[in-house]
């Protein structure tokens, strides 16, 4: 692929109407926004365009209204929170097409910001209906996409519009694409990937793609149990997908063929019950797990060996925790390895890119999120990128 178009390529936007796709799917409780991360991520793009004199019209989805108006999913609910983050007035427009939007543009001064209604109130959005996209485009001069988290969906506001107006990546999208390019596009080698989480079945495509792209694949979480079982290890009562043995063997064969080393734990933290600091907690070799025990984390010796692996690498991609990190002390392996990765990133010897909801929580829990090179808050889009899939909303921004 050639280069994608960025804000620097736009030129003068004064008086122009910019249709800016953002992710404002903010979590709410009792009518109040509980986390402003997504709004803060897109604020630099909104303010840069507004300060350059553009009339900025924000397009976003909120929840899953399935093509019907639903007052509990109106973007008017987050108008105040967004205005607070931006430190600017935000006009709310209850439509995304037609005369109401046209009138709003007439009232909006250069540099003004308007939030249009939830794009998913219209069936044409998720269907990527060309007529719906055309109706939105009629009120704009330029299209900017700053919602990487929605880029894996070919919807009217994420993909269709990009073919109807001059299309550019916003600053958040640009940062994401540049970080991902460094991590798996043209990475500095050797490359390591940490893939954790409960089930192999949910990350089959990720694993199959990664073994052809990385030098070291570190498997953690419940997934490691399935790999160990495929290797003939008795994992006791551990979470394990025994029916995937042949699939795991294929992945291991593909890794061998590609020269990728798959790292599985050789010591583990086990317990008879899944609870905080259980009495039955012990550390043992993987071959010593009793029939009534569960593997709930990677052991300290394995973590030390993995830390040594990271010290030989230049690039790291991380998705998923190594153990049941929400419950102490089964967070220790994740916290320990995350601290190693963060320290190596801070000293400049490792480019570290992490993504996925559980991963972000785990790195925040370890207190190291700020030291990773880049953390993606996109769930589905980040996973699809790790699977090697083309993301429609991204492809449309390339020259």
Of 184 and 283, the structure prediction assigns the larger pLDDT to 283
Whether residue 112 lies in the annotated active site: no
In whole angstroms, give the CA distance from residue 267 to residue 287.
Answer: 9
> Is 388 a catalytic site residue?
no
What residues have CB less than 8 Å from 128, skipping those under 6 apart?
154, 155, 156, 159, 160
Residue 357 pLDDT > 80:
no
**Average pLDDT value for the chain:** 93
What is the percentage of the chain residues whose pLDDT exceeds 90?
Answer: 75
**Looking at the domain 7-171, which fold is it?**
Rossmann fold (3.40.50)
Residue 188: is its pLDDT beyond 80?
yes
User: 215: annotated binding-site residue?
Assistant: no
Note the pLDDT of residue 182. Answer: 82
Q: How does pLDDT run across 87-103, given as a tens digit for each residue?
A: 999 999 999 999 999 99
pLDDT band at 202; cut points 50, 70, 90 = confident
Answer whether 359's CB lies under 8 Å from 383's CB.
no
What band does 218 get if pLDDT is binned at 50, 70 and 90?
Answer: very high
159 marked as binding residue: no
Rounded to whole angstroms, how far apart are CA atoms 226 and 224? Answer: 5
Task: Compute the average pLDDT of residues 272-280.
Answer: 92
Q: Where are the domains of the chain?
A: 7-171, 187-386
Provide the pLDDT for residue 101. Answer: 98
In the set 38, 55, 171, 213, the catalytic residue is 38
- CA dihedral over 381, 384, 385, 389, signed as positive or negative: negative
Tell me whether residue 199 is one of the annotated catalytic residues: yes
Q: What does the pLDDT average to over 321-338? A: 93
Tell me which of 30 and 75 has the higher pLDDT.
75
Asked if 50 contacts 14 with a C-beta cutoff of 8 angstroms, the reply is no
In the set 236, 379, 380, 388, the catalytic residue is: 380
Mean pLDDT value of segment 27-42? 88
Secondary structure class of 105 (helix, strand, coil) = helix
* Rounded average pLDDT over 179-194: 88
Cα(391)–Cα(379) distance, rounded to whole angstroms? 13
pLDDT at 1 over 60: no
- Output the pLDDT for position 2: 55
What's domain 187-386's superfamily in CATH? Phosphoglycerate kinase, N-terminal domain (3.40.50.1260)
DSSP symbol at 287: G
Looking up tokens 């709930």, which residue turns up?
296
Residue 43 is predicted with a pLDDT of 97
- Residue 30: CB partners within 8 Å, gap ≥ 6? none
Q: Which residue, 160, 170, 167, is CA-closest to 126?
A: 160
Q: Do the annotations mark residue 64 as ligand-binding?
A: yes
Calpha distance 336→215 (Å, rounded): 21
* pLDDT > 70: percent of the chain: 99
Is 326 marked as binding a ligand? yes
Higher pLDDT, 77 or 356: 77
Overall average pLDDT of the 318-337 stretch:
93
Strand order in the sheet with 294-298: 282-285, 267-271, 294-298
Of 47-61, 265-279, 367-381, the range with the lowest mean pLDDT is 367-381
380 catalytically annotated: yes
What pLDDT does residue 358 have? 80
Q: Residue 34 — pLDDT band, cuts 50, 70, 90? A: confident
23 marked among binding-site residues: yes
Topology match between the domains 7-171 and 187-386:
yes
pLDDT of 228 higher than 60: yes
Among candidate residues 171, 160, 80, 176, the one with its CA nearest the CA of residue 119: 160
Catalytic residue among 357, 367, 370, 389: 357
Query: Residue 399: what pLDDT?
Result: 63
- pLDDT band for position 361 (50/70/90)? confident
**Out of 88, 134, 199, 346, which one is annotated catalytic?**
199
> pLDDT digits over 246-260, tens only?
999 999 999 999 999
Mean pLDDT, rounded, for 379-389: 82
Reported pTM? 0.85
Q: Tell me what the mean pLDDT of segment 151-172 comes to.
A: 94
Overall size of the chain counted in residues: 399
């Amino acid at each position: 692929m050639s280069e994608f178009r960025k804000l620097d390529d736009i030129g003068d936007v004064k008086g122009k109407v910019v249709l800016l796709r953002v992710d404002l799917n903010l979590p709410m409780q009792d009518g109040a926004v509980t986390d402003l991360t997504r709004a803060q991520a897109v604020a630099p793009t909104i303010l840069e365009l507004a300060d350059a004199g553009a009339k900025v019209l924000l397009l976003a989805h909120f929840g899953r209204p399935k093509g019907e108006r639903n007052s509990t999913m109106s973007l008017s609910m987050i108008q105040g929170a967004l205005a607070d983050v931006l430190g600017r007035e935000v006009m709310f427009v209850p439509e995304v097409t037609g005369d109401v939007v046209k009138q709003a543009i007439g009232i909006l001064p250069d540099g003004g910001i308007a939030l249009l209604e939830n794009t998913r109130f219209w069936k044409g959005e998720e269907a990527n209906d060309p007529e719906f996209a055309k109706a939105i485009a009629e009120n704009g001069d330029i299209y900017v996409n700053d919602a990487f988290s929605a880029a894996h969906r070919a919807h009217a506001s994420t993909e269709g519009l990009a073919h109807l107006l001059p299309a550019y990546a916003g600053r958040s999208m640009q940062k994401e694409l540049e970080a991902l390019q460094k991590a798996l596009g043209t990475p500095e080698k050797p490359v390591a990937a940490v893939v954790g989480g409960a089930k192999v079945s949910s990350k089959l495509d990720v694993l199959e793609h990664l073994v052809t792209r990385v030098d070291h694949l570190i498997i953690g979480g419940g997934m490691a149990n399935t790999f160990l079982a495929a290797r003939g290890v008795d994992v006791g009562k551990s979470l394990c997908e025994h029916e995937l043995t042949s699939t795991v063997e294929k992945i291991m064969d593909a890794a061998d063929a590609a020269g990728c080393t798959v790292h599985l734990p050789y010591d583990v933290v086990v317990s008879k019950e899944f609870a905080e600091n259980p009495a039955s907690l012990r550390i043992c070799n993987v071959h010593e797990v009793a029939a009534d025990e569960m593997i709930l984390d990677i052991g300290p010796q394995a973590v030390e060996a993995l830390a040594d692996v990271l010290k030989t690498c230049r690039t790291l991609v991380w998705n998923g925790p190594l153990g049941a990190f929400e419950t102490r002390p089964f967070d220790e392996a994740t916290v320990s390895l995350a601290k190693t990765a963060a320290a190596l990133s801070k000293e400049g010897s490792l480019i570290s890119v992490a993504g996925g909801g559980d991963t972000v929580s785990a790195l925040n829990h370890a207190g190291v999120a700020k030291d990773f090179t880049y953390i993606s808050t996109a769930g589905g889009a980040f996973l699809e990128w790790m699977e090697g899939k083309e993301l429609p909303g991204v492809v449309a921004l390339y020259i």
